[in-house]
Amino acid sequence: MKNEESGRRRESFDLVAHYYNVYRSPHPQEVVDTIIALSNLRSASRVLEIGCGTGQLSVALAQHGIELLALELGPHLATLARRNLSRFPKAHVLVSSFEAWPLPPEKFNAVVSANAFHWLNPDIRFSKSAEALSPGGFLTILQVHHVRGGTLGFFVDTQPYYVKWGLSSDLSFQPPVPDNLPTLYPELDQMPFFRSIERRFFEIPLSHSTDSYIGWLKTDSLVNSLNDQERTGFLQDIERLIESKYNGQVVRNWVYEIIVAQRAS
């Protein structure tokens, strides 16, 4: 029986690159502005982005004139990211995992990763990021959390379908309340090559039509751990629920967590 984490694979996103491009929204402006401010990014900054997807954060960074080098494991995702960044001559996308990519001799002012850092090998993700940075540069991690809130009763109503299709074994499972999120990467505070750890949180509701919510679910790594028949059955059940009980509109709440660590000299 799968639970809320088992079965997830980072390679699954490339198989649904089209849906990812359409249904994974750009990050809210206040989140982007905070990333840029806390990372001290300017038009002359040199930035490495790890796991760019189809450019959900990349485009916002490139719009500031940043010299951006983005790594993306999935070739289909990378193709769409290049298309979305085509009007920015200082933005480039390479197909590679971060782990396998050889660091260039030139250092970066920031290493940024949005919803991808947790997929990286924990044995090297911090040390290699530090090695890529100039002294005083910033490692900036964005992680978006499922939290309680949004349309009253919707999450409770969906959970039986997660159990039915083997995506959860806990009928009473609930996401955390926004003020009780676990601390991500607490080890950062003990690492000698980073200092001045700062964390910011933004709770933001996102409205969905039936189509956009089902489209978003098609990009979810847990949902994509199902086989084709199971995935179709699960999505049809959620679609019927939203249409029949919620008149085709639901709201989900998310917390955007930004973690910024400065490279020690």
Residue 151 forms part of a structural domain: yes
Residue 39 forms part of a structural domain: yes
112: domain range? 10-263
Residue 72 forms part of a structural domain: yes
Residue 201 forms part of a structural domain: yes
Residue 51 forms part of a structural domain: yes
User: What is the full per-residue pLDDT of the chain (265 aa) written as tens digits?
Assistant: 233 344 556 778 999 999 999 999 999 999 999 999 999 999 989 999 999 999 999 999 999 999 999 999 999 999 999 999 999 999 999 999 999 999 999 999 999 999 999 999 999 999 999 999 999 999 999 999 999 999 999 999 999 999 999 999 999 999 999 999 999 999 999 999 999 999 999 999 999 999 999 999 999 999 999 999 999 999 999 999 999 999 999 999 999 999 999 999 8
- Looking up residue 211, the CATH number of its domain turns out to be 3.40.50.150
Query: Are residues 210 and 10 in contact, defined by beta-carbon separation less than 8 angstroms?
Result: no
Residue 3 forms part of a structural domain: no
∠ at Cα 248 (245, 19), nearest 5°?
A: 125
Residue 112 forms part of a structural domain: yes
Residue 2 forms part of a structural domain: no
3-state SS, 44-113, equals CCEEEEECCCCCCCHHHHHCCCCEEEEEECCHHHHHHHHHHCCCCCCEEEEECCCCCCCCCCCCEEEEEE
Total domains in the chain come to 1
pTM (2 d.p.): 0.93
CA distance 121 to 5: 16
Three-state SS for 229? Answer: helix
